[in-house]
């Protein structure tokens, strides 16, 4: 049984870390200034467009510049450029077609660049970059971001406290205090907006940057290089999932803040980042112990299972199917999705192996 893992949720969907970085500042600023719906929606087109434009700036030197294209196998053994070794596989289909698959982290630090040569070679040698979604497109679309912000607000004259339990409200109130935020100023915001804003603030306060996230870096490079991009999902799919999680799911998320502080959440994020850098993907889906699950009712467990299925396992099936389809067509693809999607039973690698594919970890 796995409870809702808040830290992993930060990096299970690329759109959450990208699109919401553009809007979270306006949520916090307007909420601190005025809790009314009118005040919350006074963001100008110029402000929205500016934030979207800022977020689309190319983060670092392109892969093509940081590593000379190599016609040899992408499964190389070279760590001269960087010591990080994120999980990467060479997957072979029953027919003998191959694909390089890499687990991404959707927000990274400067220390991760330039990327290891094994990764840049995998990118350079591929004709197609496959990602969860092309997050760079919406970052440049001011109107899209403006419409997204509107969806953060209740439009039915209800408020947050009517949608979550007193227990969840209290835990959220305490945790918001660590960020200098007053829950009463956020009553007009829907749970997904508050949850995502807090996640985004955690990323920013921990010195991570979505512009330096592996997805964003490779997408920016691919656009500059004119490389074909294949979207396994879409930004709309991911945001619709986020927006349409049930109140029960968000209630359980907010209750999980009980006993958490800003520092404890930052440490959890750093631990996950360290695991990603070393390729330890099993850390992403460690089982919760009895103490961590204490107080979980059967209804809570069912809610957590529903969340985990929507966030990870149902999507893993579609991601594995997409990889199989691409390999069956003989496409030369570098396949990059969130690292959590590869881990454990029900992960992409497990699903592919059950379908007769072989997966070999790339050695840096």
Q: Is residue 149 part of a domain?
A: yes
Average pLDDT over residues 85-93: 98
Q: Chain-wide mean pLDDT for the chain?
A: 82
| CB atoms closer than 10 angstroms to residue 292 | 13
The single residue listed with the structure tokens 């870096």 is 217
Reported pTM? 0.82
| Residue 63: per-residue pLDDT | 34
Tens of pLDDT, residue by residue over 119-165, are 999 999 999 999 999 988 776 677 877 888 889 999 999 999 999 99
Q: Considering only 175-189, 253-267, 282-296, which range has the smallest mean pLDDT?
A: 282-296
Tokens of 359: 């997966």
- Summarize the confidence of residues 345-356 as an average pLDDT: 97
Q: Would you say residue 25 lies in a domain?
A: yes
Separation of alpha carbons 24 and 68, rounded Å: 38
Q: What is the pLDDT of residue 253?
A: 93
Q: What is the pLDDT of residue 284?
A: 80
Rounded Cα gap, residues 199 and 211, in angstroms: 16
pLDDT in tens, 222-253: 999 999 999 999 989 998 999 999 999 999 99
Query: What is the longest distance spanned by two Cα atoms in the chain?
Result: 61
Whether residue 1 lies inside any domain: the answer is no
Question: In which domain, by residue range, is 243 found?
Answer: 6-361
Q: Is residue 114 part of a domain?
A: yes
The reported pLDDT for the residue numbered 199 is 87
User: What is the DSSP secondary structure assignment for residue 310, as one 8-state letter?
Assistant: I
Distance CA 184, CA 325 (A): 49
- Is the pLDDT reported for residue 19 higher than 90? no
For residue 137, tell me if it sits in a domain: yes
Please tell me whether residue 245 adopts helix, strand or coil conformation: coil
pLDDT band at 33 (very low <50, low <70, confident <90, very high): very low
Our count of domains for the chain comes to 1
Answer for the pair 187, 36: CB distance below 8 angstroms, yes or no. no
Closest C-alpha to 55, from 111, 136, 150, 113: 136
State whether residue 100 is helix, strand or coil. strand
Answer positive or negative: Cα dihedral of 37, 9, 13, 111.
positive
pLDDT above 80 (res 314): yes
Q: What confidence score (pLDDT) does residue 83 get?
A: 86
Question: Cα 300 from chain centroid?
Answer: 24
More confident residue, 17 or 185: 185
| Residue of 249, 192, 110, 60 lying closest to 200 (CA atoms) | 192
List the one residue out of 160, 146, 141 whose CA is nearest residue 26: 146
State phi, psi for 210 to the nearest 5 degrees. -70, -25
pLDDT value for 42: 33
**Angle (nearest 5°) at CA 242 between 49 and 334:** 80
pLDDT tops 70 at residue 183: yes
- Residues 118/362, Cβ–Cβ less than 8 Å: yes
Among 73-82, 141-150, 176-185, the range scoring the smallest mean pLDDT is 73-82
Q: Identify whether 282 is part of a domain.
A: yes
* Most confidently predicted of 10-19, 249-258, 349-358: 349-358
Q: Are 75 and 116 in contact (CB under 8 A)?
A: no
């Amino acid at each position: 049984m796995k409870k809702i893992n808040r830290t992993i949720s930060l990096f299970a969907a690329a759109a959450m870390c990208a699109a919401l970085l553009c809007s979270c500042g306006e949520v916090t600023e307007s909420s601190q200034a005025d809790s009314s719906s009118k005040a919350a929606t006074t963001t100008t087109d110029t402000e929205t467009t500016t934030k979207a434009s800022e977020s689309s700036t190319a983060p670092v030197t392109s892969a093509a510049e940081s590593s000379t294209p190599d016609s040899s196998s992408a499964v190389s053994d070279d760590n001269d450029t960087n010591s990080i070794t994120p999980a990467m596989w060479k997957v072979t289909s029953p027919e003998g077609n191959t694909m390089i698959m890499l687990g991404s982290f959707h927000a990274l630090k400067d220390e991760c660049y330039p990327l290891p040569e094994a990764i840049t070679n995998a990118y350079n040698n591929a004709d197609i970059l496959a990602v969860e979604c092309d997050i760079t497109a919406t970052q440049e679309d001011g109107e899209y971001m403006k419409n997204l912000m509107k969806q953060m607000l209740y439009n039915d004259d209800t408020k947050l406290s009517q949608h979550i339990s007193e227990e969840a409200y209290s835990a959220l109130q305490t945790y918001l205090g660590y960020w200098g935020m007053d829950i009463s100023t956020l009553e007009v915001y829907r749970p997904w907006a508050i949850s995502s804003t807090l996640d985004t603030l955690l990323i920013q306060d921990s010195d991570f940057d979505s512009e330096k996230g592996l997805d964003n870096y490779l997408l920016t490079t691919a656009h500059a290089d004119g490389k074909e991009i294949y979207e396994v999902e879409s930004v709309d799919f991911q945001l619709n999932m986020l927006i349409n999680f049930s109140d029960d799911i968000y209630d359980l998320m907010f209750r999980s803040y009980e006993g958490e502080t800003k520092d404890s959440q930052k440490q959890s994020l750093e631990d996950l980042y360290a695991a990603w850098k070393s390729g330890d993907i099993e850390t992403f889906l460690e089982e919760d112990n009895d103490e961590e699950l204490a107080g979980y009712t059967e209804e809570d467990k069912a809610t957590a299972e529903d969340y985990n299925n929507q966030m990870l396992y149902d999507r893993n099936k579609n991601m594995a199917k997409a990889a199989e389809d691409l390999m069956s067509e003989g496409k030369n693809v570098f396949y990059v999705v969130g690292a959590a999607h590869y881990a454990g039973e029900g992960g992409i690698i497990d699903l592919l192996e059950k379908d007769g594919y072989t997966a070999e970890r790339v050695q840096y």
